[in-house]
Amino acid sequence: MAVTLNDLARRLGELIAALDRRVPHAERSTEAAIAKDTASLREKAVTRLAEIEDQPPAAPDNDRG
């Protein structure tokens, strides 16, 4: 099943929100790496979401049916 740009934008927004809710666990020895990966993933998601939002709306597909 194909994912529409609207679906992708919604899912990216949910991912960003989840990453923002993440609570750091300073007691973990791997926390620094996890925090770095989280920040990188969030940055990529925000960039992709901005790219999607900048695209013109797709024309309806009237050839179906």
What mean pLDDT do residues 26-44 have? 96
What mean pLDDT do residues 21-40 have? 95
Domain residues of the chain, as ranges? 29-54
- Over residues 4-17, the pLDDT tens digits come to 999 999 999 999 99
Q: What secondary structure letter does DSSP report for 1?
A: -
What is the reported pTM? 0.78
Q: Are 22 and 38 in contact (CB under 8 A)?
A: yes
SS3 per residue for 11-53: HHHHHHHHHHHCCCCCCCCCHHHHHHHHHHHHHHHHHHHHHHH
